[in-house]
Amino acid sequence: MPKQIKKVAITGGTHGNELTGVYLINKFKKNPTLVKRDSFETIFMHTNVGAMHQCTRYVDKDLNRAFIKNDLCNSEKYTYEDILAKNINEKLGPKGAIKTNVDFIVDLHSTTSDMGLSLVIDNDNNLTWQVAAYLKEMVPNLHVFRWRGDTKEVSFVNSITKEGFAIEVGPIPQGVLRADLFFETEKLIGHILDFFEKLNTSKLEKRYKNIEIFDHIKLVDFPRGEDGELNATVHPNLQDNGYYKLSKGDPLFITLDGEIINYEEDEKMYALFINEAAYYEKGFAMCLTKKENIKL
Ligand SMILES: [Zn+2]
């Protein structure tokens, strides 16, 4: 673990219709004392102002998949989000540098699926996991999801720095500000900043040795016809039921004629990001995970 954290970035509005992050950044910018800690600096950034103004996920393409190292220095990439990604990378990164301009990025998201309060972690760096374990102790209902859905390179905003993660909270419809999860997310951010303050002032009481996580196994798409249209949707058992435990034979989807399609894997898995609105276009209805206790 590094001895000192000097600069943390809290980013929001990466998806312009996810208002929890948008309004938390507004609040912190107006009341910086709420998040002030003496031993390091925290900066707040709305990452996709164009999408925020439209209240859409993005303008041209998903900003949270735009941070591929080669693309960031490719002058032929010039969509709205490509240019944003280059600017953000310059301010916070650059990605892959030994010394980035900020040490840790927390990117704020919300989801239409019932994820409660979740961390989405895509790196193996120890500091990231120590923060996660600390948060899990402070906020017992927090879920930790390890994302392994990228075959080559993680291209999330928080992948600019080696250490960091995204926060996903839900269920929240797109374009809606929901009070309970707004305040829970604010509290969670407070704990993150407290962790760094304790780290910097040698007040952390322990080094965490393990953590319970939901480990990414695979993405599952809706049953679709040849035209790509949905033939079925998520079975009501899973709807609004995040981290649903699936056993062989459990209903998974229901066709529009009412026929049930079952889960056929031998292994028990937990479903999350169930029926997330933004993932229809990406081609998945849920993510299947295994619950594991991993060593840190
Ligand atoms: Zn998002």
Sign of CA dihedral 78, 44, 170, 216: positive
Pair 173, 227 in one domain? no
Pair 60, 109 in one domain? yes
Residue 151: per-residue pLDDT: 75
In a domain, 1, yes or no: no
CA of 259 to the centre of ligand 1 (A): 32
In a domain, 2, yes or no: no
Pair 146, 177 in one domain? yes
* CA–CA separation, 254 and 219 (whole Å): 18
Pair 128, 156 in one domain? yes
Per-residue pLDDT of 32-88, as tens digits, reads 999 999 999 999 999 999 999 999 999 999 999 999 999 999 888 899 999 999 999
Residue 34: per-residue pLDDT: 92
For the domain that residue 51 is a member of, what is the CATH number? 3.40.630.10
Pair 193, 268 in one domain? no
For the domain that residue 254 is a member of, what is the CATH number? 2.20.25.160
Number of domains in the chain: 2
The DSSP annotation for the chain comes to --S---EEEEEE-SSTT-HHHHHHHHHHHH-GGGG-BTTBEEEEEES-HHHHHHTSS-SSS-GGG---HHHHT-TT--SHHHHHHHHHHHHH--TT-SS-SSSEEEEEEE-SS--EEEEEE----HHHHHHHHHHHHH-TT-EEEE----SS---SGGGGSSEEEEEEEES--TT---HHHHHHHHHHHHHHHHHHHHHHTT-------EEEEEEEEEEEPPPB-TTS-BSEEE-TTTTT-TTEEE-TT-EEEEETTS-EEE---SS-EEEESTT-GGGTTTT-SEEEEEEEEEE-
Neighbours of ion ligand 1 (CB under 5 A): 15, 18, 109
Per-residue pLDDT of 112-155, as tens digits, reads 999 999 999 999 999 999 999 999 999 999 999 999 987 789 99
Residue finishing a domain among 208, 242, 267: 208
Q: Is the pTM of the predicted complex or chain greater than 0.95?
A: yes
CA of 153 to the centre of ligand 1 (A): 18
Pair 203, 257 in one domain? no
CA of 3 to the centre of ligand 1 (A): 31
Residue finishing a domain among 208, 238, 268: 208
CA of 271 to the centre of ligand 1 (A): 18
CA of 110 to the centre of ligand 1 (A): 6
Pair 241, 178 in one domain? no
CA of 74 to the centre of ligand 1 (A): 25
Range of the domain at 125: 7-208
Pair 267, 136 in one domain? no
In a domain, 251, yes or no: yes
